[in-house]
Structure formats: C-alpha cells, structure tokens
Structure 1
C-alpha cells in the first residue's frame, strides 16, 4: 500500500511534459500489445474504434489518479465518502451489466479478448459477473473521484448531509450512470468486438466517461472556481 501511495505521489510531481511523456509511453505499449495480440489471434475487428476505446478509458483513468488531489478527510466524513464511492461503483456495474442476477450454474470462463477488453472473467452463479479490464479500472477510478468529491464537499462546511446532496446534484457523477443504463439496454458487455454492442453505445459511454473524469478531477464548481488538478 505504501508503495502504491509513493507511486501516486511521484505521479503528482510530474509536470505537463512528464504527463505527456507518460501518455505517449502508455500509447506505445498499448499499440505493441495490440499488434502482438492480433498477430496470433483469430478474432476479427468489425469496428476498429472499439479496439481503441478500452485504452482511452485506461489512459484517462491513470492520468486522473496521478493528477487528482488525494482527499484529506477523517471520521464520519470519510465513512460517508467511502460509502457513497462504493455504492456508486456497484450502481454503475449493475446498470451496465457487469453485475447481474445469475442462473446458478456456477460456471467460470475466461475470454482472451483483445487487450483492454480481455482477459475477461465471466462467472455465472447466484450472481452473474462479467469483468472487463477497462471497465473495472474505469469504474474504480470514477468511484475514487466521487469519493474525493463527497469528502471535499463535506469538509468544506456542508456537513455529512450536504456531501450526499452535493453528490446527487453533480452532473459529472450522473453522466456515467446514464451511459451505463444505455450500455445495459442496447448492448451486451462481452461479444465479438463491435458485433453485439448497440450502435453508438460505447461511443457515448466513452464520451461520458472522459467528460466525467475530467470534471471530477478538475471540479471548479466545488472549489470556488479553483481546479482540483494541476
């Protein structure tokens, strides 16, 4: 845990040039991973953008965690923020189909989908679980940023109730929820890339994700006009 914290602290010390270099390195590694995967895989790509969207989620998530300030909150406010963050994560996962009611079959499968989409873990028991790497990381980072938002609002004098009300009135918090509903209604979580997803569902959810992460990281409306990030 201390190692991870140290890594995030070093990330926050990066200047704009360092962040650009990091982003470029991530993209280069991801392109190499895609090249290696498709050189040995039989999967076909029907829509190239679907292969790239997971990396948009992952890269934005990494940069957001490195740039965002770590919330300084204790006591009841920390418990409130943690509770809201966990609940938010579960709501997103349920609405978009990552979690659901299972058939009780007790089956476990691993799908070796393209990088970012896979390896995907599928479990069907009392609870149905479809874990895609980019969604796991993306939703976890959104929950972390929401935790920071609630913690900051509660610490700024709004109190525990004010923190909760502030969250539910936050447009950048509700955008991913709406996108998760759309994704769950018009497209499955797993399938041949671009084949079973609803038209534009992942385009819209990716746009909502990027906008939401940007707003939750900067948060000018919650800090008197001051951005939280650099």
Structure 2
C-alpha cells in the first residue's frame, strides 16, 4: 500500500498541510525579523532557508508511515537515526573543535531559516544547529524511515532498499563535496558561492524521490 501521495496529483489534505507549513514558517520568519537584529541579506539565501523549513515541516506533517511490526519499526528507526547522524556530520551540524574558537553556547542571528542558529564550541566537538538544516535533515531521516518500513512490507530488505536508493546518498555526497571546497562548517553563508544553491536543489530532489519512490511498485 502506498504511504505517500504522488506529487503530481496532491490530495486536499496534502495541500492543507502544505499551506499550514507555509503559514507557520512565514509567521515565525516575520516574528524573527521583527524581534531580533537579524537581516535578510542576499534574498536567495533567505529564500533557501525558508524553503528548507517549509518543505521539512510539510514532510513531517504529511507523511503517513505504513503499518509494520514493532521489530521492523525499530530497525527502520535505527537506520534513520544513523542516516541523520551521517547527514549531521557531512552537513556541518557537528564538527571537530576549532583551535582558538569561542567555547560555550551562543546564538547567531543569521538570515531567516538559517537563524537563529544555536552554536556550541567545545574541546571535543562543535555544534552549529541552523533551523533549516536541522528540520531538513530530520525530514529526510523520517522519509528514510518510511522508505525502509515500506521496503520491509514489500518483502525487500530494508538495508538493501535504503542503499539501492541512490537519492538517499545525494545530500551526504553534496555536503561532503561542498565541505571540500570550503563550506563544510556552513556558518558563513557567503563562503562558497553556489554551495547553498546546490544543497537546496539536492534536498528538494531527494524529498520528491523519497516521497514518490519510483520503483516501489506504485
């Protein structure tokens, strides 16, 4: 049984949930700009950040997971958590310590979607928790969880189903590629000119493919 609505023909409920995600994100964005010192900066970066949040919220509110045994769900959850962990490292949410960096917690008021970012600097690791990345990566992990559950229900190995899904690896490979070219920490939005364009495109394509999942007998 299909667990996701085909995107070319969205249902009324899907449209309502998408509208809820858009409205919620816009309200939070305006409140953020009104009550903080954050600035929009380059319009396309702000648009990308808001897009990540909107799409991520829509995915989490609109995706209905197939029925499965408790054991299957536990295995799927373990795979999804591992996938999120890899994304977090590859995408710069978790990095190694920076010599001479500021220790402790602070908040960076980056452009909407990317901020407010909670940043932690420590002796063992750094955290850069930007809303767009956190919400987006959680959404992708949730879609991977749903994909593994459906694969198990279709008598396909969850592990094989995940790693045969090439789109699952795109965000990881893109994050690693952009970090090699100087934007791995993702703290300064202007470090690499096109890294945010590329990562946003890959994120959206991955969401579409993981929601539609061609090849699952739909």
State TM-score, norm by structure 2: 0.82
Number of residue pairs aligned between Structure 1 and Structure 2? 204
Unaligned segments of structure 2, at least 5 residues: 1-9
Kindly state the Cα deviation for residue 145 of structure 1 after the two structures are TM-superposed: 0.6
Structure 2 residue aligned with 1:145, among 131, 143, 146? Answer: 143
**CA deviation vs aligned residue, 1:13-32 (integer Å, no higher than 9, x gap):** 85355346435534642563
Which residue matches 1:216?
Answer: 210
Kindly state the Cα deviation for residue 170 of structure 1 after the two structures are TM-superposed: 0.4
| Change over 3 Å in CA distance of 1:146–1:122 after alignment to 2 | same
Query: Higher helix proportion, which one?
Result: 1
Which residue matches 1:133?
Answer: 131
**CA deviation vs aligned residue, 1:40-83 (integer Å, no higher than 9, x gap):** 637572x3201111111111112222332223222332222111
**CA deviation vs aligned residue, 1:77-107 (integer Å, no higher than 9, x gap):** 2222111100100101101221122259742
| Change over 3 Å in CA distance of 1:21–1:92 after alignment to 2 | closer
Q: Give the conservation status (yes or no) of the 8 Å contact 1:30–1:55.
A: no
Unaligned segments of structure 1, at least 5 residues: 1-11
Once structures 1 and 2 are overlaid, which stretch shifts more, 64-73 or 78-87?
64-73
Secondary structure of 1:15's aligned partner: helix
Q: CA RMSD in A?
A: 2.6
Which residue matches 2:89?
Answer: 94
CA–CA separation in structure 1 for the residues paired with 2:52 and 2:132: 6
CA–CA separation in structure 1 for the residues paired with 2:37 and 2:137: 28
Counterparts of 1:160-179 in structure 2, within 5 Å, are: 162-179=157-174
